[in-house]
Amino acid sequence: MAGLATAPVFAADAPQEPAMSATDDPYLWLEDVTGEKPLAWAREQNARTDAELASTPGFDALQGQVEAILDSKAKIPDVEKIGDYYYNFWKDAQHQRGLWRRTTLAEYRKAEPRWETVIDLDALGAAEHENWVWHGADCLREANGHYQRCLVGLSRGGSDADVTREFDLDAKDWVEGGFFRPEAKGDLGWIDRDHVYVGTDFGPGSMTTSGYARIAKLWTRGTPMSAATTVYEGKNDDLAVGAFRDRTPGFERDFVNRTIAFWNDELFLRSADGTLILVGAPNSAGKDVHREWLTLQLREPWSVGGHDYPAGALLATKFDDFMAGKRDFAVLFTPSDTTSLEGTTWTKNKLVLNVLDDVKSRLEVLDPAQDWKATPFTGNGGIGTLSARAVDNDDSDDLWLTETGFLTPTTLSLWKSGEKPEALKSNPAFFDASKDVVEQQFATSKDGTRVPYFIVRPKNLAFDGKAPTLLYGYGGFEVSMVPSYSGVVGKAWLERGGVYVLANIRGGGEYGPRWHQAALKANRHVAYEDFAAVARDLAERKVTSPAHLGIAGGSNGGLLTGNMLVQYPQLFGAIVIEVPLLDMKRYSHLLAGASWMAEYGDPDTSDWDYIKTFSPYQLFDPAKTYPPTFIWTTTRDDRVHPGHARKMAAKMLAADKDVRYYENTEGGHGAGATNRQQAHLWALTYAFLWNELAKP
């Protein structure tokens, strides 16, 4: 699910909600996240699912192969430059919880770098009797350029709620009496060595109805967090509030961000005396301040300064000029019928644009010192994804370039301005891709819209409608589904002769804001019509047929596959529903659900008239025939409440439908907290799909 971290784990901490009785919903008891009765039910379902799927021929080998891929020591260790070192978080068979480690660039260039362990999460968890999951580190650059102190996020079991603790990089130890934020949905960010901005659960009334911080405070070292001074208070029904310092040397500025809803926020410049000055750009625009520049990525048309700018455009101006009232912009990108701006990345002095053209990516490096002159990176020119991120945008224009594709293992290169990219690392080939080919096709949706999709298939596909085919989609929150290399999909599906399809349906960001906005609220149905159109197109091309076509999707994608289950069951032979939203009558009262009302609508108002048309839990009909279904989630998912998955499975089981359910006890909004947990769940998923779809 796109968006911020979400509300507390326990259902009792959810926002106040309308009364509902067991008569209205006989499975309401399954919303008690950590209750013994629901957990006992989940354990019973896990045993039932394991008995069916984990005993199938080849399951142990499949799980071992998946775990070996996840644990592979040959994978690219992604790094972040902090001072003179390059830091990486790493998990493998010997380090199930992971190591935060560092090396030098000279070492990193080697095939087998020497790493220095900074934090061993397995050892830490064992010593503290906690199942810690890594949530990252924010490290402070001192005036002399040295990095010593970090704010480290640790989560119990992978939930979004976490704690923040202060760590000393020199001593490689926790700071005695240092900054500490107790477990909550919140954040802690450096101002300077003795001051931080904090947003967290300060007590009753301090969190929004979405479960995020409503109040941002400034906290001074050596004082209790309760003594922190308020910087800004949002409204109860805002999504979230936060304060942060841009610590770019020579351009230090403080900001407050009030997020009202998705793609609806206000950004304020905070002056030295605490006065807040609104950055007067449209609420819907993406706002980015870097050094002397302000860039605005428009999601709606904007008429200003005598000019009309279209949705999807990228504008740039001097930040100080903008704050002084000037509205003169350089137009850095304008979308076309086939292109959109997927994102931007600043180096110290240059701006990188990530452009999609019919969902195929290219990069452009713009130089503001040369009137935004563009230098293109085109990659290999095939169907794949090229992305970039800054190595250190305070000190250099260096970039990490990553190239990936369905059949081409991911590669990492280092690009220094004026030089050719230097290939540094490449993932191994985790599966035999020599027998497969990648294509892009287009389906026609119900309203005539052209919907792209990628298909990965055997070169010698018979086109007799019998190929086991897995169709994946998401379709929400302006998130784009782009080609990428997955050793797990390759080994568990493609290498066995399966076909894999990735759909680019409306609701996503593949064609920019217009593609997303086309499927909002009352228009949600078009995302499902798009997905159904892709399914039909695959059958018409005789790639597969309903009996051999399976689908999978997670989170908002779980809502997608849930709707395919109840609205288009005739199109599919198997359905996987992962960490899903399903009960759209109650979603806004469950954990972070209220934060998504800009996407789906408010079910407590007349919006329910259309929301009920895409609420799988309410649309389920025990009299209908449904394809075999696998629903899974995790207990520690405090983003999308596990009650969605539990209740849907229970309702289907009571109606004697062909459904199985699995719930990992940890893992947050994902398949598991460790590689071993993930391997087991992915093996169950692919065993289920193959068993159902590879039948003669």
Active site amino acids: 555, 669
| Per-residue tokens: 378 | 């085109």
Decide if 500 contacts 494 (C-beta within 8 A). yes
Q: Which of 230, 202, 228 is nearest to 216 (CA)?
A: 230
Question: What is residue 569's DSSP assignment?
Answer: G
Q: What is the C-alpha end-to-end distance of the chain, expressed in Å?
A: 36
Q: How many Å apart are CA 577 and CA 588, to the nearest integer?
A: 20
Question: What is residue 207's DSSP assignment?
Answer: B
Non-local (6+) Cβ contacts of 26 within 8 A are: none
Classify 390 as helix, strand or coil. Answer: strand
Q: Where are the alpha helices (DSSP H) in 57-193?
A: 59-71, 105-108, 121-128
Neighbours of 448 (CB within 10 A): 6
Neighbours of 485 (CB within 10 A): 22
Q: CB-based burial of residue 336 (10 Å sphere; 0-12 exposed, 13-18 middle, 19+ buried)?
A: exposed
Q: How many Å apart are CA 292 and CA 319, to the nearest integer?
A: 6
Classify 266 as helix, strand or coil. Answer: strand
Beta strand pairing status for 469-472 and 549-554? Answer: parallel
What letter represents residue 213's amino acid? A
| Per-residue tokens: 696 | 């003669």
DSSP string for 4-54 = S----SSGGGSPP-----TTT-TTGGGG-TT-HHHHHHHHHHHHHHIIIII
Q: How many Å apart are CA 413 and CA 409, to the nearest integer?
A: 13
| Per-residue tokens: 655 | 């109606």
Q: How many Å apart are CA 667 and CA 300, to the nearest integer?
A: 37
Q: Which of 681, 619, 685 is nearest to 651 (CA)?
A: 619
Q: Which of 590, 652, 641 is nearest to 616 (CA)?
A: 652
| Per-residue tokens: 433 | 């891709």
Q: How many Å apart are CA 458 and CA 590, to the nearest integer?
A: 43
In the block, residue with structure tokens 């992962």:
578
In the block, residue with structure tokens 């079991």:
157
Half-sphere CA count of 243, side-chain side, radius 13 A: 27
Report residue 648: phi and psi, to 5°: -65, -45
What letter represents residue 8's amino acid? P
Q: Which of 504, 174, 172 is nearest to 359 (CA)?
A: 504
Classify 619 as helix, strand or coil. Answer: helix
Report residue 658: phi and psi, to 5°: -85, 85
